[in-house]
Structure 1
Amino acid sequence: MRAVVVEHYDSIDGISIREKDLPEVAAGEVRVRIGAAAVGFVDGLKVQGLYQTKDPLPFVPGTEFAGTVDSVADDVAGFKPGMPVLGMTRSGALAEYISVPSAALKHLPAQVPFEAGASFQANYLTGLYALEARALLRAGETLLVLGAAGGVGIAAVQIGKLMGARVIAAASTPEKRAFAVRHGADETVDYTEANWRDTLKTLTGGHGPDVIYDPVGGEVSLQAFRSIAWLGRHLVVGFASGTIPALAFNLPLLKGGALLGVDLAQIQKREPETHARLIAQLFDWLASGKLQPVVGKVVPFENFREAFKTMQSRSALGKMIIKFP
């Protein structure tokens, strides 16, 4: 089979597609022929060795995928060859085939294409956990989503609307702001403008956003927190800007506001009941059509570098997807 193989930590231009043996199917595992895989911000850091944990070399990057069951271990029930599935794993998704424990897979509703399935689980679980379990977002509250046109941002826009919030999407270009509106945002703001906080104040009637969903970091995070409503909640999701901000402790005191961390990697281990409940909610929305995952740019497997470069340039609308033949 073919796979993207990281033989040494490098820029994406130094990473190539290689031939590898078809993965074995060990006890408890399912082998999937991958139809589509997602590329996220973390994947870009991992191939360069810049993420907070390092995958042992050599490794195949990619954590999210959707495809068709190819082979099933004798001790696995619930999955059969030909069945459409989606999954998450530590690494290995940028390959034509992957073997994973059956617990890493979910059934993909028949009406959902592989591209949408691959873009679903991480971003939407992050969004629902942040907004429902951490911020306790209530219907009628105002939600400000920073970086609203990216994969994790647009998921928060959609989930915020499903939860009954008024959603203000913050993004840096007219194209990105229009994209957010198409997927449910009520208002938009350009956080590259010097007076963007004045615009936000006007949009919220002087109240400020009750909840801030922040995968961006940097100076924009500090400015957003200065505009937060009394008893507001600021969700720290990531640092796509490349800069981790330092907040003066007097600001939470003066604003009555709270900083709340959101780490997808720890939810299942530390809060298994919450994880199970949120996954069930997400897949109910997916199966019913209430939630339709946003698919960003789709590139063929051979052009995988394009997906990484688009994502790293922060020009992506939605999640970047690599499609396999």
Structure 2
Amino acid sequence: MRAVVVENYDRIENIAIKDVAKPDISAGMVRVRIQAAAVGFVDGLKVQGLYQTKDPLPFTPGSEFAGVVDEAASDVSGFAPGTPVLGMVRNGGLAQYVCAPAADLFATPDGIAPEVGASFFANYLTALYALSARAKLRSGETLLVLGAAGGVGIAAVQVGKLLGARVIAAASTEEKRQFATKFGADSSLDYTREGWRDELKELTGGEGADVIFDPVGGELSLQAFRSIAWNGRHLVVGFASGTIPALKFNLPLLKGGALLGVDLAQIGRREPEVRAEVIAQLFTWLSEKTLVPVVGRVFPFERFHEAFAAMATRSALGKMVVRID
């Protein structure tokens, strides 16, 4: 089979598609013929060896995928060959086949295209877990989403609306702000403009945001926290800006605010029941078409480099997806 293979941590343009052995099936596993795989910010870091944990070399990047069952181990039931599935693994998604534990695979709801299924898991699981389980976002509260046009940002916009919040999308260009508004944001603001906090204050009637969803980091995080409402919750989701901010402890005291970490990689191990509840809710929305995941751009397998490049630019809208032939 063909797969993207990282033999040395390097820039994505130096990584190639290679012919490798088709993965063998072991107990409890299902082999999936991949139709589409997503490319996220973490994948770009892993390829370069810059992520907080390093995948042993060689490896195939890509954690989110959608496809059809090729074959299941003899001890696995419910995954007949040809069954459309989607799932998330540590790595291996940018390949024609992947072996995944049956517990990490889910039947794809009817009418969901592979490109949509591949862009679904990480972003929407992060958004709903963060907003419902961590921040306890309530209907009628104000949610400020930083980096609202990115993959996880637009997921937070959609999930926030489904939870009944008033959503303010913060993004750096008019195109991004229109994109966020198209998918549910009630209002938007330009966080690159001087005085954006005054605009946020006006939008919230002087109260500030009840919940801040923050995948950006850097100076923007510090400024946003200074505009949080009393008893507000600031969700630390990631650091797309490349800078980890340092918050002075007097600010949470003065604002009555809470800083809440969100680490998708640990949810399954530390809170399996909560993870199961969140996934069940997401699949209910997905099956009912209440939630339609946003797909950014779709690239053919041979142009996977372009998907990574698009994901890394500040102009990216939504999740980048690679179609696997």
Please give the TM-score of this superposition, normalised by the length of structure 2. Answer: 0.99
Secondary structure at the counterpart of residue 155 of structure 1: helix
Q: Using the alignment, how far apart are the partners of 1:190 and 1:174 within structure 2?
A: 8
Q: Using the alignment, how far apart are the partners of 1:302 and 1:95 within structure 2?
A: 11
Give deviations 1:176-228, integer Å, cap 9, x for gaps: 00000000000001000011111111111111000000000000000000000
Between 1:302-311 and 1:20-29, the stretch displaced more is 20-29
The residue number in structure 1 matching 2:25 is 25
Give deviations 1:119-160, integer Å, cap 9, x for gaps: 111111100111001111000000000000000000000000
Give deviations 1:68-95, integer Å, cap 9, x for gaps: 1111111110101111000100000000
The residue number in structure 2 matching 1:269 is 269
Q: Would you say 1:119 and 2:116 are equivalent positions?
A: no
Q: Using the alignment, how far apart are the partners of 2:264 and 2:74 within structure 1?
A: 31
The residue number in structure 2 matching 1:128 is 128
Q: How does 1:85-96 map to 2 (within 5 A)?
A: 85-96=85-96
Shift of 1:101: 1.2
Which stretches in structure 1 are left out of the alignment for 5+ residues?
A: none
The residue number in structure 1 matching 2:299 is 299
Q: Would you say 1:15 and 2:22 are equivalent positions?
A: no
The residue number in structure 1 matching 2:152 is 152
Q: Tell whether the 8 Å contact from 1:28 to 1:75 is kept in structure 2 after alignment.
A: yes
Secondary structure at the counterpart of residue 126 of structure 2: helix
Q: Name the amino acid aligned to 1:99.
A: C
The residue number in structure 2 matching 1:103 is 103
The residue number in structure 1 matching 2:220 is 220
Q: Using the alignment, how far apart are the partners of 1:152 and 1:211 within structure 2?
A: 16
The residue number in structure 1 matching 2:5 is 5
Q: How does 1:253-292 map to 2 (within 5 A)?
A: 253-292=253-292
Q: Name the amino acid aligned to 2:155.
A: A
Q: Using the alignment, how far apart are the partners of 1:20 and 1:269 within structure 2?
A: 31
The residue number in structure 1 matching 2:320 is 320
Q: Name the amino acid aligned to 1:29.
A: M
The residue number in structure 2 matching 1:65 is 65
Q: Using the alignment, how far apart are the partners of 2:70 and 2:7 within structure 1?
A: 27
Give deviations 1:10-30, integer Å, cap 9, x for gaps: 001110000011111112111
The residue number in structure 2 matching 1:252 is 252
Q: Using the alignment, how far apart are the partners of 1:224 and 1:282 within structure 2?
A: 28
The residue number in structure 2 matching 1:169 is 169
Q: Tell whether the 8 Å contact from 1:84 to 1:110 is kept in structure 2 after alignment.
A: no
Between 1:68-77 and 1:184-193, the stretch displaced more is 68-77
Q: Tell whether the 8 Å contact from 1:39 to 1:62 is kept in structure 2 after alignment.
A: yes
Q: Name the amino acid aligned to 1:319.
A: K
Q: Using the alignment, how far apart are the partners of 1:244 and 1:214 within structure 2?
A: 12
Which stretches in structure 2 are left out of the alignment for 5+ residues?
A: none
Q: How does 1:195-210 map to 2 (within 5 A)?
A: 195-210=195-210
Q: Using the alignment, how far apart are the partners of 1:110 and 1:70 within structure 2?
A: 19
Q: Using the alignment, how far apart are the partners of 2:137 and 2:99 within structure 1?
A: 38
Structure 1 stretches of 4+ moved >2 Å:
none
Identity of aligned residues (%): 71
Q: Using the alignment, how far apart are the partners of 2:23 and 2:35 within structure 1?
A: 16
Q: Name the amino acid aligned to 1:6.
A: V
Q: Using the alignment, how far apart are the partners of 2:130 and 2:40 within structure 1?
A: 18
Shift of 1:314: 2.6
Q: Using the alignment, how far apart are the partners of 1:138 and 1:272 within structure 2?
A: 23
Q: Using the alignment, how far apart are the partners of 1:178 and 1:283 within structure 2?
A: 27
Q: Using the alignment, how far apart are the partners of 2:82 and 2:169 within structure 1?
A: 40
How many residue pairs get aligned? The number is 325
Shift of 1:110: 1.9
